[in-house]
A = this chain, B = another copy of it.
Amino acid sequence: MTEVGVSDPLLAEGLAKIADEVDRAFDALLPVPEDARARLIEAMRYAAIGGGKRLRPLLLTAVAEMYGVVREAAIRAAIAIESIHVYSLIHDDLPCMDDDSLRHGKPTVHKAFDEATAVLAGDSLLSFAFEVLGDPAVSADPFTRIELVQALGHASGAQGMAGGQMMDLVAETSEFDLQTVTRLQQLKTGALLGAAVEMGAILGRVQPEGRAHLRGYARDIGLAFQIADDLIDHEGNAEVAGKAVGKDAAAGKETFVSLLGPDRAREQARMLVEQAIGHLSQHGKEADLLRAVARYIIERDH
């Protein structure tokens, strides 16, 4: 099982491997109970299993592997961050938010179940993320676990992803400049991608200097990722996106593409990817997967 359209064999293998591992871990950690909670767990499983590129788990485990972290521990931490990502998609798709009916090519949770169940499934995945990080299976060292909690808590809340989502809502009725759109995207998408790299570094007990380079890498690919997303939305291929496209323009939102134009936006994304790879210069072959991820991020629409 390899990812369609991924030319780099190392990346193709990495994507297929992590997709399988994440699916199996969610399956094992979310058994369906034999009571009235079954519907809730089924909704969580519906959203969490079998969809998405698993980019955050890939980043987290790629960094962890560079520093010799046991694979099972890294997968547990990856489940935590992916749970946050999945919850955010469930809530983002709600009628009162983006009102989307399609996600990863299948009906969104509130369409397949109902709105109340979608709200609760998102909430439960959010709690689940931190429950997973509390468990010693992530690390026998409580200090490592609490560092992971801090990193993920900060990245997911009002000072991170949710704050970015709020700015995104405000963007529909405001004229944002490039600086504000950059800040919005750094929070909305960048914070969690950054947390993925950071959590890998926490597990690997990476020293401050190494962490600073990894943070630079994460910041650059986060922004490149969002520019690529804007380009996909602008170019409007719903099949590639696996979701509705052309929505930003329809909602009157400023994006990197509307502010820079598609050509400069594409050029900017390419430059960021080069810069991201530059942050890995002190690493050898062991960072090849991170380099491949960086390149992949702007090639998703081809």
Does any Cβ of B come within 8 Å of A171's Cβ?
yes
Does any Cβ of B come within 8 Å of A209's Cβ?
no
Question: Given that A116-B169, A123-B91, A123-B122 are known contacts, is A134 also in contact with B149, CB under 8 Å in the complex?
Answer: yes
Oligomeric state, in copies = 2
- Is there an interface contact between B153 and A130, defined as CB atoms closer than 8 Å? yes
- Is there an interface contact between A36 and B171, defined as CB atoms closer than 8 Å? yes
- Is there an interface contact between A170 and B39, defined as CB atoms closer than 8 Å? yes
- Is there an interface contact between B37 and A117, defined as CB atoms closer than 8 Å? no
Question: Given that A153-B128, A167-B36 are known contacts, is A96 also in contact with B115, CB under 8 Å in the complex?
Answer: yes
State the CA gap A183–B124 with chains docked (Å). Answer: 18
Does any Cβ of B come within 8 Å of A158's Cβ?
yes
Determine chain A's interface SS by DSSP, over half rule. Answer: helix
- Is there an interface contact between B116 and A163, defined as CB atoms closer than 8 Å? no
- Is there an interface contact between A120 and B162, defined as CB atoms closer than 8 Å? yes
The total of chain A residues at the interface (CB under 8 A) is 59
Binary per-residue interface labels of chain A (264-281) against chain B in the complex, 1 for a CB within 8 Å, 0 otherwise: 000000000000000000
Does any Cβ of B come within 8 Å of A154's Cβ?
yes
Does any Cβ of B come within 8 Å of A20's Cβ?
no
The interface centre, meaning the residue of A44, A94, A162 with most chain B CB atoms within 10 A of its CB, is: A162
B contact residues around A157 at 8 Å (CB):
123-124, 127-128, 131
Does any Cβ of B come within 8 Å of A135's Cβ?
yes
Q: What would 23 A/B residue contacts be, using CB atoms closer than 8 Å?
A: A36-B180, A37-B167, A37-B187, A39-B166, A39-B170, A40-B163, A41-B158, A87-B123, A88-B123, A91-B120, A96-B116, A124-B163, A126-B126, A126-B127, A127-B153, A127-B160, A130-B149, A131-B154, A132-B153, A134-B150, A134-B153, A135-B150, A146-B149
Question: Which 3 pairs, one residue from A and one from B, show the smallest C-beta to C-beta distance?
Answer: A127-B157, A131-B153, A134-B150
